[in-house]
Amino acid sequence: MMQEDFSRERLLLAVDCIVFGFDGEFLKVLLIKRGFEPEMGKWSLVGGFLQTNEVLEDAATRILSQYTGLSDIYMEQVATFSKIDRDPEDRIVSTAYYALIDIHKHSQKLSRQFSAQWFNIEDFPPLIFDHGEMVAAALKRLRTKAQTEPVGFELLPKKFTMRQLQTLYEAIWNVTLDKRNFSSKIRSFNFLEKLNEKDKSTSRKGAFLFRFDAEEYDKQERSRTTLNL
């Protein structure tokens, strides 16, 4: 067996977080202004380095909390990015995670220290290094995940209208869905609980509110029904 030479340049491990939010109309991504060189002042994802006493998931949680003040939110690993020249100064391998948050619920917690700002997923500025590729990969994963699991509910308030739910999925997939077909399909899964409450913010008649029934979904999850909305 050939003996490898381990006396090479250092290798740094990083974690970058793609934070998706929904404002009731558009799917958005959270970006920050990079505060150091190279590429200081340009738009970047939330990120940092893996510490010696951490596993990747712990690092992602810490980094997200540091930049946004948020914790205990939905997060999932996307992919690892390891192009040799992805960073101009060091050999850095980065693992990307995406997180889902309700913008209206958490907007006050976002740190102003890093000039955090929301951008529409279809219209965000150029990003440093390969962060644009990370966003594209995370969006692809989210769209695929939304076909089989109700991850979209992480982006909504606990109580929501059917129209809000449809608008969310239209934003995720960048499509227009038929109102009747969507309502009929989503109700057929029986993990939505219709409440005896109405949202009257947009009309006098109002629209019934719903909530996601996690317990019912857990029962149905065994059958792995595909949404196919």
Residues in contact with 45: Cβ distance below 8 Å, sequence separation at least 6, in sequence order = 16, 17, 18, 31, 32, 96, 127, 131, 134, 135
81 against 109, higher pLDDT: 81
Please check whether residue 5 lies inside any domain of the structure: no
92-112 pLDDT tens trace = 999 999 999 888 877 666 766
124 and 212 fall within a common domain: no
192-199: strand order across its sheet: 160-161, 207-212, 192-199
Identify the band that residue 113 occupies on the pLDDT scale cut at 50, 70 and 90.
low
Please check whether residue 34 lies inside any domain of the structure: yes
Identify the band that residue 2 occupies on the pLDDT scale cut at 50, 70 and 90.
low
150-194 pLDDT tens trace = 899 999 999 999 999 999 999 999 999 999 999 998 888 788 999
**Cα gap 227→229, rounded to integer Å:** 5
189 and 86 fall within a common domain: no
Overall average pLDDT of the 182-208 stretch: 86
**Quick check: 165 and 186 in contact, CB under 8 A?**
yes
Picking from 97, 153, 103, 124, the residue whose alpha carbon sits closest to that of residue 43 is 124
Please check whether residue 215 lies inside any domain of the structure: yes
Q: Provide the angle, in degrees to the nearest 10, between the axes of the packed helices 131-148 and 162-173.
A: 130
Whether residue 114 has pLDDT greater than 80: no
Structural domain for 124, as ranges: 12-148
107 and 128 fall within a common domain: yes
pLDDT given at position 203: 76
**Would you put residue 190 in left (φ > 0), alpha (ψ -120 to 50) or beta?**
left
Which CATH number goes with the domain that contains 204? 1.10.10.10
45-80 pLDDT tens trace = 999 999 999 999 999 999 998 888 888 889 999 999
Please check whether residue 25 lies inside any domain of the structure: yes
21 and 67 fall within a common domain: yes
pLDDT given at position 14: 97
List 2's β-bridge partners, or say none: none
84 and 124 fall within a common domain: yes
Please tell me the total count of domains within the chain: 2
Global confidence as pTM: 0.89
**Cα gap 114→204, rounded to integer Å:** 41
100 and 205 fall within a common domain: no
Identify the band that residue 223 occupies on the pLDDT scale cut at 50, 70 and 90.
low
208 and 100 fall within a common domain: no
Identify the band that residue 209 occupies on the pLDDT scale cut at 50, 70 and 90.
very high
